[in-house]
Amino acid sequence: MREFKLSTGSRDEFVDITGRVREAVAASGVADGACRVFVPHTTAAVTINEGADPAVTRDIIMELDKVIPHRDGYAHAEGNSAAHIKASLVGSSETILVSGGSLVLGTWQAVYFCEFDGPRTRKFLVKVGEV
């Protein structure tokens, strides 16, 4: 298992971590199997979506903010309930197939760390294994 750290720069942000996940796959030596990406935070998540046009991730954040506004009379005293809800909806892990020693992603797909309570220093974990 590999642990990666990253710093986010805004409250809501998608950070492309595809290169680091590929690095973990290459270092694992696994030719065919699966790669699990896990975010051990309650106000952050991980997802796979289009990596070619940055407008896509901006649109996702914009729509999440419409459905789950930052302030909405939440009871949680810390003031970051929206981040907790967004993280629960997006999810804390992704599984990606590995074939021929490479991630099996579509042409336009990228792996994103999703920050919903930044800016912060965060981490994510990658585990690669044969299936």
What CATH number should be reported for the domain whose range is 2-129?
2.60.120.460
What's the rounded mean pLDDT across residues 66-87?
96
**pLDDT over threshold 90, residue 125:** yes
Average pLDDT over the chain, rounded to an integer: 97
pTM of the model: 0.96
The end-to-end CA distance of the chain, in Å, is: 15
**pLDDT over threshold 90, residue 131:** no
Residue whose C-alpha is closest to residue 22's, from 85, 87, 90, 101 = 101
Domain assignments of the chain as residue spans, ordered by start: 2-129
pLDDT in the model for residue 49 = 98
Please, where are the H alpha helices in 39-124?
54-67, 81-90
Could you tell me which residues come within 8 angstroms of residue 126 by beta carbon, excluding any fewer than 6 positions away? 1, 2, 4, 20, 21, 24, 25, 35, 36, 37, 38
**pLDDT over threshold 90, residue 33:** yes
The fraction of the chain above a pLDDT of 70, given in percent, is 100
